[in-house]
Amino acid sequence: AQSVTQLGSHVSVSEGALVLLRCNYSSSVPPYLFWYVQYPNQGLQLLLKYTSAATLVKGINGFEAEFKKSETSFHLTKPSAHMSDAAEYFCAVSDRGGSNYKLTFGKGTLLTVNP
C-alpha cells in the first residue's frame, strides 16, 4: 500500500521568508502526487499536481514542487511567504492507471506566518 509522510506537523515562518513543506512517499512505481491546501471551514483546494514528465510543477499562489524520484520526495516551496498562506497543507498520492481516483493523504502540515 502507498503511504505519505509529511515531516513536521507544524511549520512557522516569518512573512517574506521561504516556505518549505516536506513530503515523502513510498511506492514502487512513481505515483501521481498532489499538494492540497485547506483553509479553516473550507474544503480542500488543489495547489498543484505531478502527473507527467515535468518534474518541477508550478501551482497557484506562487507555490511549486519538485518531484525527485531518487529521494521519493515532492517538497512544496514558495520563495516568499504571505500572511494569506497560513493554512493546513496536505500531500497526497494516487496510483497511475485505473485506481488513480483513490487519494492517500499525509497527516498534514499546519503553516503559520508571523508578521
Partner 1 sequence: GAGVSQTPSNKVTEKGKYVELRCDPISGHTALYWYRQSLGQGPEFLIYFQGTGAADDSGLPNDRFFAVRPEGSVSTLKIQRTERGDSAVYLCASSLTSGTTYNEQFFGPGTRLTVL
Half-sphere exposure of 9 (CA within 13 A, CB side): 1
Using CA atoms, how far residue 99 sits from 14, 15, 28, 60, 93, in Å, is 40, 40, 15, 26, 11
- The binding track of 33-72 with respect to partner 1, each residue x by CB under 8 A or -, is ---x----xxxxxx--x-x---------------------
Contact 106, 23 (CB under 8 A): yes
61 SS3 class: helix
- The binding track of 15-34 with respect to partner 1, each residue x by CB under 8 A or -, is -----------------x--
Establish if 84 lies at the interface with partner 1 (CB under 8 A): no
Establish if 100 lies at the interface with partner 1 (CB under 8 A): yes
Contact set with partner 1 (CB under 8 A): 4, 9, 32, 36, 41-46, 49, 51, 90, 92, 94, 97-108
